[in-house]
Structure 1
Amino acid sequence: MTPEIEQKLVELKHIYGPYSVTRVESMLLNEHTIDPLQRESRLILPGLSTTPWLSTSQFKPLHQLIQTLESSSSEIKSEIWSAIESNSDLLLPYVHYLGEQDDWSALYLYRNGEKNTAAKSILPASYNILENELANWLCPVSEMHFSILAPGASIKPHCDLCNFAINLHLAVDIPENCSITVAHETRQWEEGKCLLFDYSYLHEASNGSGQKRICLLMDIWHPDVSYAEREALVFVVKEFYKMMDN
């Protein structure tokens, strides 16, 4: 724990109460047990009601977001395909700590703490969700993007950074023989529907078809994370990335 983080936590305790960031302190002091399938994840907030796979019906506060995504799925599918077919310069190789893959690309709506305003004109339905229903849920140190997996491509098993943000997928265009595995349990996307999982657990994906697999991915706050904890965790993650860059 850096002096800057310690000072930030003291400030938050004065604002929100002496126990408001206790779980964050426990996380930073490694005072909790981590599942072996989260071994590569760096920041595990204790006490969250989480399992590798989460039900979209489990968290009532998310229902409006999920309903809007699913009811807009046809429009979202149409606009991302228009971007792909026009070879939009917003389509980029997906950059991950695993490295860069030629067969895995992305179109970002939100990245590095900023909205990609250039996407608004070509992805109006998706961008509208970013600005409205997703506004209070998107983790500001994470992303919202279309994940486009080429025919025959796979994403090797890995854990992402934390468990206090969880991964919400809208299945946009799903050919046959596509799957996602989280903590050794494999499931398939259902086109036009959302699925939710804790990506601090070991997970992987594959496209065994001859077509592109497209999902809209959103890194959202776990609903059990308080506003005080959100503020603390954003600061912690930014400090974490600073240390990684040095």
Structure 2
Amino acid sequence: LAARDANREASFYFNAFVRLAGEAPSLPPDLSEGLRRARAAQDRIAAGMQALINGELEEAGYSAGTSDRRFTHALDILTGRKQPYLQQPQAFYYPELPNIQFYPREQFPWMDAVEAATDAMTAELNAVLEDQSAFAPYLKTQPGMPSRPDYPLIDSMDWSSCFLSKDGQETPNAARCPQTMAALKDAPLCRVRGRSPQIMFSQLKAGAHIQPHTGFVNTRLTCHLPLVVPPNCQFRVGNEVRSWARGRCWAFDDTIEHEAKNGSDRARVVLIFDIWRPELSEEERTLVATLLEAIDAYSPQAATWD
């Protein structure tokens, strides 16, 4: 196929062979040589295709830095620079919602007021930080439920939270942070009785790593407003990695695999809250909330959305 310039078809078979051979613990010499040739052919075909694509796209006016972000994402997946990540909610899947890792900031004009309150929020956070009893491990062992003793952050203060609203109810900490709560008054907070909104200061200690995971329901987005951000802290959603910047808010889909790392020597603190997905109508939000509340009413609440 490659000799006849049927490059796409040849690439399909080369890729299949490399994938199968990669699953074998060991290969005889003739297959090892074949694997080497297949990988070299993969690289040759990919380089030729990339050169052709680059030339055609350049003539069409494409620029990686300024052209449509979604097209660039598709191109990166096609050429193997990135892999596709899809929503994987653990509890409830709502169909026909787009797989967007980080949402464009301009979709949320109400974030202007949230960001403007950064200094006021930080002052309230600093007062709370003086009383570390306000923070508790984000992941806790639940009596009577299976646990993961191998996961280093369970019952650990390396990843801790101070909730202002938990499971849809304001906590006493909300009264200690009135300006933080006021700054969120125009945010379309996800409201599900007994579940949401969740509003918290999330603290990640130096060297801590929140391993890849996915959230529970894809009808909401999670928002971060960084308040204390030392250098070398990174956050990945799907195949996009970002660094937090103090006072700059973002929204992401937490049902797409994500993880966080603090590579600094100081703690990182972010305000986290959840909002309805903008694609949902008011009717859909009401029906989704009613459905999830009915499920909780039927069965004792065994797991949180944290």
Aligned to 1:78: 123
8 Å CA contact 1:52–1:183 kept in 2: the answer is yes
Give the drift of 1:190.
1.1
Amino acid at match of 1:125: Q
Match for residue 126 of structure 1 among 173, 177, 180: 180
Give the drift of 1:138.
3.3
RCO greater where, 1 or 2, for CA within 8 Å and sep 6 or more? 1
Q: Which whole-Å CA distance do the structure 2 matches of 1:101 and 1:240 have between them?
A: 30
Q: Which whole-Å CA distance do the structure 2 matches of 1:103 and 1:165 have between them?
A: 26
How many residues matched?
204
Matches of residues 165-244 of structure 1 in structure 2 within 5 Å? 165-241=220-296, 242-243=298-299
1:138 matches 2:190: yes
Aligned to 1:90: 134
8 Å CA contact 2:87–2:99 kept in 1: the answer is no
Q: Which whole-Å CA distance do the structure 1 matches of 2:230 and 2:217 have between them?
A: 30
8 Å CA contact 2:86–2:99 kept in 1: the answer is no
Q: Which whole-Å CA distance do the structure 1 matches of 2:285 and 2:277 have between them?
A: 10
Give the drift of 1:45.
1.4
Aligned to 1:48: 97
Query: Structure 1 residues 190, 36: closer, same or farther in 2, change over 3 A?
Result: closer
Q: Which whole-Å CA distance do the structure 1 matches of 2:290 and 2:99 have between them?
A: 23
Give the drift of 1:40.
5.2
**Bigger Rg, structure 1 or 2:** 2
* Unmatched segments (≥5 aa) in structure 1: 1-34
- What's the CA shift string for 1:103-140, capped at 9, x where partnerless? 11111111122112x2234212112234x223x43333
Query: Structure 1 residues 149, 112: closer, same or farther in 2, change over 3 A?
Result: same
Aligned to 1:163: 218
* Unmatched segments (≥5 aa) in structure 2: 1-83, 141-146, 149-153
- What's the CA shift string for 1:211-243, capped at 9, x where partnerless? 110110011001111122112212332344454
Name the SS of the counterpart of 2:227 in structure 1: strand
Query: Structure 1 residues 68, 181: closer, same or farther in 2, change over 3 A?
Result: same
Q: What TM-score do you get using the length of structure 1 for normalisation?
A: 0.75
Aligned to 1:32: none
Query: Structure 1 residues 223, 124: closer, same or farther in 2, change over 3 A?
Result: same
- What's the CA shift string for 1:15-43, capped at 9, x where partnerless? xxxxxxxxxxxxxxxxxxxx864335332
Aligned to 2:14: none
Q: Which whole-Å CA distance do the structure 1 matches of 2:98 and 2:139 have between them?
A: 30
Name the SS of the counterpart of 2:206 in structure 1: coil
Amino acid at match of 2:100: T
User: Which has the larger strand fraction?
Assistant: 1
Q: Which whole-Å CA distance do the structure 1 matches of 2:105 and 2:244 have between them?
A: 13
Amino acid at match of 1:110: S
Amino acid at match of 2:138: Y
Amino acid at match of 1:178: C
Q: Which whole-Å CA distance do the structure 1 matches of 2:175 and 2:265 have between them?
A: 30
8 Å CA contact 1:40–1:158 kept in 2: the answer is no
Aligned to 1:6: none
Give the superposed CA RMSD: 2.3
